[in-house]
Amino acid sequence: MFSGRVVKMFNSGTKCPITGIGAWAPDAGEERTTKATEWLVSALKIGYRHIDTAYSYGTEKAVGEAIKEAGIDREDVFVVSKLPTHHHGRVLESIQESLDNLGFKWLDMYLMHWPIATNDEGQVVDSPTIRETWEGMEKVLRQSKCEAIGVSNFSIKNLEELMKHTRSKPAMNQVEMHPYLAQNDLLAFCRKHEIAVVAYNPSGTDIVRKDPVIVALAEKYKATPTQIILAWHLSRNVVIIPKSVNPEHQAENFDLPTLEDEDIKKIDALDRGQRICNKADDNGLVYGMSYEQLGW
């Protein structure tokens, strides 16, 4: 089905290309429509067969249009979308909205975007619980709306809470991960439970890319700092979804070096537990959620 390296999620049997393209786009002008379609078509023509989007990204329609414009069969692209926090009480309706946006009959993977529910105003609410929302996720799986279900931004704490009373384990956990935030304990936990780990913000932005260790390794391998970091992820069997609108960078991210063991260890040593993408605000909250609630 997919060319190139894939990861098999053993608890679901689903296979996923290990390198994907992130489809987040800013909510401005045509960034989520025409422009998004253009750079997604570019990625597909380069060879990407894994696209990560979400209801809240506003790019689901662009993803569907890009696959059509690229002339690729739907079955040949692994597409992920996500349940927004304010839809936890209406999972079936929400996935159908996503499918209608995409123009699909099914998703390859459907994720609970965050482990906390909110109301329409973005305020955190106690109901439905993680377990109740997951029951809704399991229903859409049984109704063949998706091939597999998983989670995003889940810690060990919230995964343990989720799995106490579930029929099925999550097949995937998508989290922020890069050399400054290696999340080794979470990665080990997910491996133990056969949950595939996907890294978003995998390069860590310029904060990580400009680290002297990364820069030196880029010179050694005649590669870019981003290529070095993405290659480190692959050495850990972590799925990556770098986002780039630049065809040259898309091609670079799809063609990675193989790092020597000693160099992998140098990158491992950079871990400092530093969140870059979803840091707490001045009130100590992430989208209204505390680090304690998130298990971070």
Residues 6+ apart with CB under 8 A from 45: 70
Structure tokens that stand for 154 in this block: 């889940």
Specify whether the CB–CB gap between 23 and 51 falls below 8 A. Answer: yes
Specify whether the CB–CB gap between 152 and 175 falls below 8 A. Answer: yes
25-43 burial: b if 16+ Cβ within 10 Å, else e: beeeeebbeebbbbbbbbb
Structure tokens that stand for 21 in this block: 């393209």
Burial grade of 13 (CB within 10 A; 0-12, 13-18, 19 or more): exposed
Q: Which residues are catalytic?
A: 57
Which positions make up the binding site for substrate? Answer: 113
In the chain, DSSP finds a helix count (H) and a strand count (E) of 12, 14
Q: Angle, nearest 10°, between helix axes 156-163 and 184-192?
A: 20
